[in-house]
Every structure is written in C-alpha cells, then in structure tokens.
Amino acid sequence: MIKYFEFETTQFDFELIQHIKKLRIKEKFSQEILSLKMGLAKSFIGNVENYREKHKYSTRHITLLAKAFGYKNIGELLNFPIPQYDRIKVTVEQTYNEAGTKVLKSEVVKVVEIK
C-alpha cells in the first residue's frame, strides 16, 4: 500500500536534516548512537529524521552534532550548498506493509517553493 503526504518547512531545515543523515550513515552511526553521542534522548535523531514529526535541529544541536562527528569547527559540519528557497512544500511517498500498519519505505518525491 502506498500513501502520500505533504509538509511545509524551510529549505535550510530540510537540507540540514538530509545532510546530517548522510553524515550519520557515512560514519555508520545509528540514530540512537548519534543521539547518545550528543547527550540527548536516544529517540532524538529518529524524531528529527521522521518526516511526520515536527522536530528540527536548533543552534544548540549544531554544536552537539559537530562534537559528535569529531569536527574542530562548525563550518565543517555545515559544509553543504546554500538553499535556493526559503520555504518549501515537500511531498513524501510512503510504502506500507499489507496491513497498512508499518511504514516500510519513505521517499521524497517532490519539493516545491512556497511563494
């Protein structure tokens, strides 16, 4: 079963979350391990990376993330392109199990600027 949903956010928040997720996977950190390395609840990163949750990184989290990844300065952590837009609408396709009770896969299928 496939379902779609949309949410609105800033492109910076969206790109930052995607960037940190790529770094986490590259370093082979689970969501729980990165959360604990930051000194936060073990569910924190999972909540931030979940498209249905409203959790985001704050300026406090930037420092904690940089330290968790072993960076000497914050610029190393934020090494990704400047977002093109301010606010965006994101469309996500989610694939569920046959019973429709568990998400098996989530994929961003569309990102558009909100004017």
Tens digit of each residue's pLDDT, the chain (115 residues): 999 999 999 999 999 999 999 999 999 999 999 999 999 999 999 999 999 999 999 999 999 999 999 999 999 999 999 999 999 999 999 999 999 999 999 999 999 999 9
**Tokens matching residue 89:** 């609408």
How many domains does one find in the chain?
A: 1
CATH code, domain with 104: 1.10.260.40
Q: How far apart are CA 31 and CA 34, in angstroms?
A: 5
The predicted pLDDT at position 6 comes to 97
The predicted pLDDT at position 49 comes to 97
Range of the domain at 13: 2-113
The predicted pLDDT at position 66 comes to 98
The predicted pLDDT at position 45 comes to 98
- Tell me the pTM: 0.91
The H or E element spanning position 111 is strand 103-113
Q: What's 37-85 look like in SS3?
A: HCCCCCCHHHHHHCCCCCCCCCHHHHHHHHHHCCCCCHHHHCCCCCCCC
Q: How far apart are CA 57 and CA 65, in angstroms?
A: 9
